[in-house]
Each structure stands twice: as structure tokens, then as C-alpha cells.
Structure 1
Amino acid sequence: MRWRARAGLVAIVVVTLTGIAAAPAFGAPATVPVALTTAAVIRVLSGWPADRRRIALITGGAGLVSLAATAGVVWLDAAGPPAASGWLFGESVGLLILVLLAVRAAPVRPAIVSAGLAGVAVPLLLVRVSAGPPTPAALAGFAVWALFAVLAAVIGLYLRSLDDLRARSVRAARQEQRLRLARDLHDFVAHDVSEMLAQAQAGQILAEHDPEQALAMFGRIEHAALHALGSMDRTVRMLHDPDLGPGLDAVPERGADSPGPDVAAGPAAARTPLPALADLADLTERFSSSGTAKVRLDLDALLHEAERVPRDVSATAYRIVVESLTNVRRHARTASRVEVSVRRLRDDAGHALEVMVTDDARTGTTPDEHQAGGGSAGRRTAGGGARGGLGLAGLTERAEALGGTLTAGPRTPHGWHVTATLPLTLTPSDLSTAPAGA
């Protein structure tokens, strides 16, 4: 940027001195304004795009200088010689460039004023070489140059719209990335941290009566911590690696064999797809071992092979189960049994994946039970989450984006359910091997 500014300054000095030196031969009204207009163009381009706020001031100044020179010629009746036409052509080109740049980059109101002054000055340049009343040829020339000024403004508006569209796209991409990171932190890290909290609370209680079992809790806390570190490492990789799509492509490996933080942070860390249906067994087993509620997983045999389920559907189904189990741990501590069912449905509309998570927590009837998280107290329906874009509300949006649905609410006579239906595309071989009633 510095070398551009210095080169621009040298060019401005050279152009200005050239215009002054040529004034005796072609007339100052022809050479000085074109020198100043050219200097203005050089100044704008040498500072682009950092000096966008000054474009309107520079363009308006060049337009006023040109109009003043034209007014002086008319007032003094001192039209220049035909040889001065080349200088005027250079000035008109410079003014048109300034009009285009001002309309493209300057704030709206200053752009209108400055581009208007410079645009009006362009056709009026013909006055400096025209003597006597206007002729049809002169009027045609005015119209042509006025059309050029309008065309420069239109091009500037088009480029401005492209710049605005590009800026909106960048803002939208950044917002989507922030939401994606928030979902990852909420769906995975929050689940692991809540598991660590539950283990630590249970360990404090067991420490008084069964120290050995309390000591075993530390291994489970370490396991949950490794999962949380893996999730955060994947989130950090998403920030640094532009090739990671919307959170569904290459990510560090999760699971019992996940590397520690020192290994996972390295450039050669193992990478696998996001947790999916195949990871539900490990998820439910860890949940059962970390609390009083036991989880029963019913996974359709056809769905055990990950390649038969679209990756985005599989990952979304896993997230729904994670969020549901996290809510059980937070809001349904009286639950003793949780049922997780993932099966394939087939009807006239096609194939779909149904994900259902239910618990048997009883709704609290006293303030103490409510405080303890009994049943549906304190929960949110799928569409009524308190945190926009996160939790069940965010998962509802993800399910709808896939063409599916997600509902949540209390069960009869007690408990809670989360049910999602996601469209599922299967291959012909899958259809032939699947049971008819699945």
C-alpha cells in the first residue's frame, strides 16, 4: 500500500506539472482542469479501497473545477483552439471514471451529489471548444457525452450491487459458521460436560459409603472429558480448515479410542465422519453408566450399515438422541428408564427414518420435585426453546431442512418423548433385503 501511495504521489506531481507547462500552447482552461482531474483519478486509485470515504469529496472537487473552468470560458468568451480537444477528451474520460468509482463506493448521499457534479461537467466540456450558438451537431455531442455519464453511473451501480451482494454473502457465511459452532458445542460438548457433572455429583455421594466405587467415577469422568476435548478439537479444526463443509465432513475421531489432547491437536490426527447411527450404542452405554437412568437402544438392523443412510440424516439423528439424553439428565432426574428407538418406516410417501426417545420421569408435584428436575418441569417443546438456534429448536430446524419433522412433549401417563421423522433414501438392494413391515 505504501509503494502505491508513493507512486501515486509522484504521478500526481508529474501530471500537474505537465498541465501547467502545456497551458501556454493549448490554454489553461484546457490543460489545467485535465491535469487536476487526472491527478484526482490517480489519487483515488492509489488509495483504493482504503480511501472510499474520500472518493465523493475528490469526485465532487474535480467536477467543480471542471464546471468552473467551463463557466470561465463562457464568461470570458475564450473558447480554446481545436487542438485543445484532445485535452478535453482526457478530462471527460477522467470525470467518467470518477463518476463510476463514486457511485460504486461512496456513501449514498455524497455519491449522488459528487457524481451529479462530475456527470453534468462531462457534456458541458464541449462548450470550451464551441463558438457561437449551439448547432445540431453540438447538441448531438452533448447528448452523447451525457449518455456516457449516465452509462458510467449505471456501471457503478451494478458494481455496487455486486459488492453489496458479496458483503452480504460473507456476513451470512460468518453467521452460519457461528451457528454451526454453537450447535456443535451445544450438541456434543454440553452433553459430555453434563455427563462429567453427573459423575462428579454421584462420586461425592458415594465417597462416604463406597470409596472404591467413587474412585471408579474418575475414569468415567476422564472418558467424558476426552469426548469433550475431541468435540472442541473438531470445532477448532472447522475454523482453521476451509475444506470442512457444514460440519459433516472430515473431523477428528470420537469414541473410546479418541486420542488425547496432545495427539488430537496434531496435523496428522485421525479423521472420521461426524458421529452417526453406528455410534449410538457407545453413546447409550456411556449414558447408562453415568447415572441412574438405564437406556434401552432399539436400532433397526438395516440401519447398522452406515453407508445405507445418508450422512446428513445419520448425523442429525445422532444429534437428536444426544440432545434428548442431555435433557433427560438435566430435567428428568427421576427417570429410571429411557427408550431410544431408531427404525425405518415405509409408506406411500416413501421411506423415512424415525427417531424416538422416551423416558418414564414423573412430573413433579411439589416444589422440591420440580427443583430436582422431575419429569416435564422446566423442559421446552421442540418449537419453544429458550435459546434460538440451539437445543430442540435448532434440531427442529435441521429436521425441517432435510424435509422431516420433530416433535416433543409430555407422554401419557407420565414422562417425555422426542420424535423425529427424517426422509430416507435407500438403494434398490436395501429395498430387497429389508423386511416388508419395517
Structure 2
Amino acid sequence: MIPALPPSSPLRRALSAVAAVLVFALLVAEGAATGYVPTAVATFVTGALCVGALVVPVGRFPMTAAVAVAASGALSVVTMQLTHRPEVTPGAAELTALLLLVARAVRTARPASAAALSAAGGLAAGLLPLRLPRAEYVNLTEFGEAVIFFSLVLAVLLGLLLRLLDTVRAREREADRQAQRLEYARELHDFVAHHVTAMVAQTKAVRYASALGHAPAPDDLDRMLAGIERAGSQAIESMRDMVSVLRAPGEGPAAARPAGDLDGELRGLTEEFTAAGPATAEVSLAPELTGAGYGLRPELTTAAHRVVREALTNIRKHGEGVRWVTVDVRPSPAGTLTVTVTDDGRAPAHATAAGAARAAGKAATADGSGASGRSGFGLTGLAERVGALGGTFTAGPREDGTTGWRVAAELPLESWKP
């Protein structure tokens, strides 16, 4: 595919100048062929108007095209009454410009304006050959008008095709913008919710202990406040990273992804989760995935990191009586990377219906349609992220009948190199 030239490139300006000179020379030659100064000037002017209407901005096109078509038709009618007529040309450049005007009208104008301009342009194009001497009318009737008619049909079809392509491109651009907005929303949630939830959880723990008359010891209080401060700093840093990505031209939020050792990244998440208390978390990572050379695509490591972080955030926000959390990441024989986060907590009271539905065979969905108390924008974003990679995502009560919650993602491993 040949890349488009930048609007301000020297080559594009040079080509435009050459094209303008050639069109100008052709219009002058066609005007001079009339052999009569008034018609020569008029032919040049109407031809220039038709050519100029092809390059005006879209907002000015209907009015400019109407003036050009009216001038061309008027000149043809007047020339038919004159004795001095062109003998060698009916205005080929002007005829071509009229046909292209019809195509542009069909492509860009509103339906009513497009129909009016197409009809007027077609009439002007049909009248243009009648500027020749009357002796040529027989040949025009047999050949010329038929050629113009079929050329007009092709111009209309060309305009319709271009209009359809423009519509498809507009829809694709809107779909891309919507996908980008969703990606921004997912990244913003991932960056902020995890750290802010940690701050809220630790603050609630201090208030709860104080309300029971068991104010934390100074050392414990300092440790909790330090954790809140650390979570706040991380939230600010994450927001700064997000803003820097948004300000960087040509980059999307996918650029702000965790880097380095997957094992270290996941253990950092679980250590942060455990530090906020009271539950503990541990990571079980397949040996072949440890170290910097584990060979997973960046998209997979990012998705695995996001799944674990969102699951831990939801446990902190919604889990009741959680004592332990297990994070398990390993390749499966089916050629997928399995990421599972399991806890032993009790579901909130308002999630009981969702658990009963799942036990009856109606799986709660990640987008919250199962009325799960742990659903929300985070799980919706995870489902979208995993789905974009061709994987599957589930979230709901544990299927073995024991108390707890399970979040699992299956990611394709076609690019994995053990």
C-alpha cells in the first residue's frame, strides 16, 4: 500500500503545482479553440469554476458547485445561439470536471442536495457538446450523448461507492475510539482502585478497632498509617503514569503495563495485600514461568497481572472472613495460561442469591448479570481484556462446594516459549 503524502510535504506541493499548471493550460487551449474571444474567455471561466469546485472545502462545495453548473449550462445555451463555435472540442476538461462534480456531490452532499446537483450536473454535461457546430449534431446524437450518459451513471456509482467507504471508515473510527475509551477506563480502574481500596481497608481497620475500645498501639498505628501513605503514593504514581501515557502522542494505555519478572510482580501484589491484613496470600507459579526469560507476550503478562490485582482488590472490598488467598498461574495442557485466584471468605449477604444460582447451574457472569456482590466495572474490564486476547474469564463462588470465591482466566499461549 502506497503511504499518503503529508499535506505539507514538498513533493505533494510540487505535484499539486504541476497538476494546476496542466489543467490551466488545457482550459486555455480549449478556450482558444473556439476562435472567438468572448466564448474563449467564457469557456475558460466556466471550466475554471468547475475545476475549482472540486477542491473547495466540503462546507462550501454545494454553493460553489451550483454556481459552476449553472454557469456551464448557461454558456452552452448561449453558445448554441452563436455563429462562432469551437470546431475541435466541446470542452473535455470542463466535461470531466462536471462528471467529477456529480461524483463528489453524491459522495459528500446531503441526499436532497446530491440529487439536485447530480441532475443539474448531468444536464450541464449533456448540453456541453451542443456548443459544437450544428453539422456535428448527428454524430453527437449517435455517439457523444450515449457516452456522456454512461459516464454520468459511472460518476453516480463512483460517488455512491465512495460514500459507502466513507461511512464504513467513520464507523471503524468510532469503534476504535470506543475501544480506546474502554481501554482508558479499564486502565484507570486498574491503576487507582487497587491502591485506594487498600487505603480504605486499612483506615476502616483502625476505626473499627478504635470503636471497640482497642485503639492500636503506637507502633501498630504507625505501621497502618505507613501502609496508607504507601498506598496513596502508589495511587499518585499510577495516576502520573496514566497521565503521561495519555499525553504521549501515538501511544495507548497499553504502554503503561507492568514490566520485568512475572513472579516478582505477582508476589509484590500478594505482599501488599498481606501487609494490609488480616488475610494472607501466597503465589503458586509454574517453574517454567519464573525468571526474566519466561517468554510470555507482554499482553499475557499484563492480563495476568490485572486479573490478580483486580481479584485481590475485590477480596479486600467485598470478602468477609477471608483468612487466606491463593494465586495460581501455570500453563495448561490445552495450550492456555491459567490464572486462578481463590479465597476462603464468605460471600456478602446480598450475594447469596448469586451463589444459589451458580449452585443450580446458572453461572454468575463477570459483567455482573448474575447479581454477584463482587461484580462491577473491574470484572467487566477484566472480561473485556481477556476476551480481546481470545481467552475466557469467570468469577463466582467456588465450584467444589466449599466457602470462598474463585476468579479464573484462560489465556491463549500460542506465542509462549518455555
TM range (shorter): 0.7 to 0.9
Equivalent position to 1:322, from 301, 306, 309 = 309
Percent identity between matched residues is 36
Flag structure 1 segments of 5+ consecutive residues without an equivalent.
Answer: 2-13, 255-271, 431-438
Map Cα deviations across residues 174-215 of structure 1 (whole Å, 9 max, x no partner): 222211111111123111111111122223345634233222
Structure 1 residue 113: Cα displacement: 1.9
SS in 1 for 2:207: helix
- For 2:387 and 2:101, locate their aligned partners in 1 and report how far apart those are by CA, in whole Å: 49
* 1:40-79 correspondence runs (5 A): 41-42=51-52, 45=55, 47-48=56-57, 52-72=58-78, 77-78=81-82
SS in 1 for 2:233: helix
Structure 1 residue 147: Cα displacement: 3.3
Map Cα deviations across residues 364-397 of structure 1 (whole Å, 9 max, x no partner): 55xxxx59x99979x9632436999942233223
Distance 1:314 1:240, change over 3 A: same
Map Cα deviations across residues 283-318 of structure 1 (whole Å, 9 max, x no partner): 011011113222132222222135333322222111
Structure 1 residue 60: Cα displacement: 2.9
Is contact 2:318–2:348 with CA below 8 Å preserved after alignment?
Answer: no
Equivalent position to 1:181, from 175, 179, 184 = 184
Report whether the alignment pairs 1:233 with 2:240: yes
Map Cα deviations across residues 109-157 of structure 1 (whole Å, 9 max, x no partner): 3123212311231132112224269414543011223333334444444
| 1:11 aligned partner | none
| 2:119 aligned partner | 116
- Stretch deviating more after TM superposition (108-117 or 143-152): 143-152
Distance 1:64 1:227, change over 3 A: same
- Stretch deviating more after TM superposition (194-203 or 64-73): 64-73
SS in 1 for 2:412: strand
| 1:259 aligned partner | none
Equivalent position to 1:280, from 237, 257, 266 = 266
| 1:267 aligned partner | none
Is contact 1:34–1:87 with CA below 8 Å preserved after alignment?
Answer: no
Report whether the alignment pairs 1:359 with 2:347: no
Report whether the alignment pairs 1:32 with 2:21: no
Map Cα deviations across residues 387-438 of structure 1 (whole Å, 9 max, x no partner): 999422332233233333222222323221112222324767x3xxxxxxxx
Is contact 1:331–1:376 with CA below 8 Å preserved after alignment?
Answer: no
- Stretch deviating more after TM superposition (279-288 or 201-210): 201-210
| 2:224 aligned partner | 217
Flag structure 2 segments of 5+ consecutive residues without an equivalent.
Answer: 1-6, 8-23, 359-363
* 1:86-105 correspondence runs (5 A): 86=89, 88-105=91-108
Structure 1 residue 280: Cα displacement: 0.6
- For 2:107 and 2:179, locate their aligned partners in 1 and report how far apart those are by CA, in whole Å: 28
- Stretch deviating more after TM superposition (319-328 or 89-98): 89-98
What residue identity is the alignment partner of 1:358? T
- Stretch deviating more after TM superposition (136-145 or 191-200): 136-145
Report whether the alignment pairs 1:395 with 2:367: no
| 1:6 aligned partner | none
Is contact 2:90–2:132 with CA below 8 Å preserved after alignment?
Answer: no
Map Cα deviations across residues 259-296 of structure 1 (whole Å, 9 max, x no partner): xxxxxxxxxxxxx46x8453010101101111322213
What residue identity is the alignment partner of 2:98? L
| 1:4 aligned partner | none
Distance 1:98 1:137, change over 3 A: closer
Is contact 1:63–1:119 with CA below 8 Å preserved after alignment?
Answer: no
- For 1:205 and 1:215, locate their aligned partners in 2 and report how far apart those are by CA, in whole Å: 16
| 1:167 aligned partner | 170
Equivalent position to 2:278, from 264, 287, 292 = 292
Report whether the alignment pairs 1:149 with 2:152: yes
- Stretch deviating more after TM superposition (168-177 or 283-292): 168-177
| 1:344 aligned partner | 331
SS in 2 for 1:418: strand
| 1:335 aligned partner | 322
What residue identity is the alignment partner of 1:219? A
Equivalent position to 2:198, from 195, 204, 209 = 195
SS in 2 for 1:173: helix
Is contact 1:206–1:213 with CA below 8 Å preserved after alignment?
Answer: no
Is contact 1:73–1:128 with CA below 8 Å preserved after alignment?
Answer: yes
- For 2:94 and 2:348, locate their aligned partners in 1 and report how far apart those are by CA, in whole Å: 83
Q: TM-score normalized by structure 2?
A: 0.76
Distance 1:389 1:118, change over 3 A: farther
What residue identity is the alignment partner of 1:204? R
Q: TM-score normalized by structure 1?
A: 0.73
- For 1:182 and 1:376, locate their aligned partners in 2 and report how far apart those are by CA, in whole Å: 28
RMSD over aligned CA atoms reads: 4.0
Is contact 2:107–2:162 with CA below 8 Å preserved after alignment?
Answer: yes
Distance 1:195 1:427, change over 3 A: closer
Q: Provide the aligned length of Structure 1 versus Structure 2.
A: 379
- For 2:277 and 2:353, locate their aligned partners in 1 and report how far apart those are by CA, in whole Å: 15
| 1:414 aligned partner | 403
- For 1:406 and 1:177, locate their aligned partners in 2 and report how far apart those are by CA, in whole Å: 21
Equivalent position to 2:138, from 121, 135, 144 = 135
- For 1:331 and 1:237, locate their aligned partners in 2 and report how far apart those are by CA, in whole Å: 32
Structure 1 residue 162: Cα displacement: 4.3
- For 2:201 and 2:138, locate their aligned partners in 1 and report how far apart those are by CA, in whole Å: 92
Distance 1:374 1:206, change over 3 A: farther
Distance 1:94 1:405, change over 3 A: closer
